[in-house]
Amino acid sequence: MKVVSSELRKKLREAVRRNSAEGLLFSGGLDTSILAVLNPNMKAITVSLESFGEDISYAGLVAKNLKLKHYHRRVSIDEAIDSIPDVIRILKSFDPAIPNDLVVYFGLKLAKGMGMEEIMTGDGSDELFAGYDFMNPARASTSGVKDIENLDKYIKKISSSLQFSSNELGSFFNIKVKQPFLDKEFIDFSLKIPVELKIKEENGNLWGKWILRKAFKKMLPAKIIWQDKRPLEYGSGMRKLREIITSKIPDEEFEHKNRRYPVKFMNKEHLYYYEIYKKEVGEITEPKNNQKTCPGCGAGMNLNSFHCQICGNVLDWRM
């Protein structure tokens, strides 16, 4: 384990060097805290919705510990809701992950205002090192990965087609997004790490990203190393928007439009995003000859993909 930890630190340090940037979209989570440790000269940007979310407290702890130049972008509820059409128009998507995308949008917008041309993100770490609950057999729901053997297959399958909205949002702001965890050499290295070291028990808890935690445990406070995964919408507080948006649509209206539109909506919020999509982007285009059809919205999907970039529908990854 010590040999793997040492090599992991070396490989990630090299990936950070190859993907250096002026700024860092910084949640204070494990991944971005590690990137900050490896390049503490970056300007760190944290986004939160008003006073909601925990990210700012974790980010503040790391910023103080590493003496980072730390910038906090506090977004009002009205400002966030008013920006949803912009994000949907840029991404050409009504994926329910919009609250996550808003965090990136406001972070990049601040970076642009500060004159930055490059910014680093922690994209890819959760996918490569099993950071999500649905990848953890001890936490996964009925639709999650159920055992370690399947987890290894899942990680290897998705590693060839990872896509993140930060790239498209970065292009919109003319900012180059750097993603050290997605550096090809680092991906190749990470896939050789036994999956048993990515999810492993520690003090009675089955932890995702275990080997990352162990590799950097002496470089960050224990509170940072052993924190649970906080999706952007939770840590930033943007999840509050889901409640607000849902309250805008009466049950009868949702039921009527759910029958009327050619989309299988997950909830009222999904409908809300779709109607903005129709206005800002237009009708959903039909699949091309080399694509399969999304059963959720009818859009085209790449043959090896199991996540629809238009509506966010997720297919069985084993298909």
Among the three residues 240, 262, 281, which one is the final residue of a domain in this structure?
A: 240
Looking at the structure, tell me whether residues 275 and 133 fall in a common domain: no
- 63-102, pLDDT tens digit by residue? 999 999 999 999 999 999 999 999 999 999 999 999 999 9
Domain assignment of residue 295, given as a range: 250-319
Query: Is residue 216 located within the same domain as residue 288?
Result: no
Could you tell me if residue 275 is inside a domain?
yes
Query: Does the pLDDT at position 263 exceed 70?
Result: yes
The answer to the question of residue 154 being in a domain is yes
- The answer to whether residues 163 and 311 belong to one domain is no
User: Could you report the per-residue pLDDT of 161-213, keeping only the tens digit for each?
Assistant: 888 999 999 999 999 999 999 999 999 999 999 999 999 988 888 899 999 99
Neighbours of 189 (CB within 10 A): 19
Task: Assign 147 a pLDDT band (cuts: 50, 70, 90).
Answer: low
What per-residue confidence (pLDDT) applies to 145?
Answer: 55
**Helix intervals (H) in 173-302:** 184-192, 210-215, 222-225, 232-235, 240-247, 251-260, 268-280
- Picking from 109, 122, 106, 103, the residue whose alpha carbon sits closest to that of residue 178 is 122
Q: Which two tokens stand for residue 142?
A: 């009925």
* Residue 222 shares a structural domain with residue 258: no
Nearest-5° Cα angle at 35, 179 to 229: 90
What's the pLDDT score for residue 142? 47
Residues 110/270/121/219 CA torsion (nearest 10 deg): 110
Q: Are residues 228 and 258 in the same domain?
A: no
Claim to verify: residue 236 and residue 256 sit in the same structural domain: no
pLDDT exceeds 70 at position 119: yes
pLDDT 10s digits, 279-315: 999 999 999 988 999 999 999 998 888 889 999 998 8
Task: Give the CA diameter of the chain.
Answer: 60
Q: What value does the mean pLDDT of the chain take?
A: 93
How many folded domains does the chain comprise? 2
The residue type of 317 is: W
SS3 state of residue 307: strand
pLDDT classification of 264: cutoffs 50, 70, 90: very high
Amino acid at position 47, single letter:
V
The answer on 274 and 192 residing in a single domain is: no
pLDDT at 141 over 70: no
In a domain, 29, yes or no: yes
**In a domain? residue 186:** yes
The answer to whether 77 and 241 are in contact (CB under 8 A) is yes
Q: Which of 18, 65, 69 is nearest to 42 (CA)?
A: 69
- For residue 260, the Cα-to-chain-centroid distance in whole angstroms is 32
- What pLDDT, on the 0 to 100 scale, is given for residue 317? 63
Q: What is the CATH number for 129?
A: 3.40.50.620
Same structural domain for residues 77 and 129? yes
Percent of the chain, pLDDT > 90?
80
Question: In Å, what is the CA distance from 98 to each residue of 44, 53, 86, 247, 251?
Answer: 22, 16, 11, 17, 22
- The three-state secondary structure class of 206 is strand
**pLDDT tens digits, one per residue of 14-48:** 999 999 999 999 999 999 999 999 999 999 999 99
The last residue of a domain, from among 213, 240, 267: 240
Residue with tokens 């948006």: 245
In a domain, 245, yes or no: no
- Specify the range with the lowest mean pLDDT, choosing from 82-86, 157-161, 269-273: 157-161
pLDDT at 161: 80
pLDDT at 144 over 70: no
Residue 132 falls within a domain, yes or no? yes
Q: Is the pLDDT of residue 143 over 50?
A: no
Domain termination site, one of 240, 261, 285: 240
Residues facing 46 on adjacent strands: 72
Is residue 156 domain-shared with residue 259, that is, in the same domain? no
In contact, 46 and 72? CB cutoff 8 Å: yes
The dihedrals phi and psi of 307, each to the nearest 5 degrees, come to: -130, 120
Instruction: Quick: pLDDT tens for 212-256.
Output: 999 999 999 999 999 998 889 999 999 999 999 999 999 999 999
75 lies in a domain? Answer: yes
Report d(CA 140, CA 31) in Å as an integer: 21
Which residue's entry shows tokens 């055992």?
147
The confidence band for 318, taking pLDDT boundaries of 50, 70 and 90, is low
Residues 145 and 284 in one domain: no
* Same-domain pairing of 65 and 139: yes
Task: Indicate left, alpha or beta for 42 from its phi (over 0: left) and psi (-120 to 50: alpha).
Answer: beta
Separation CA 170–CA 303 (nearest Å): 26
Is the domain of 263 the same as that of 149?
no
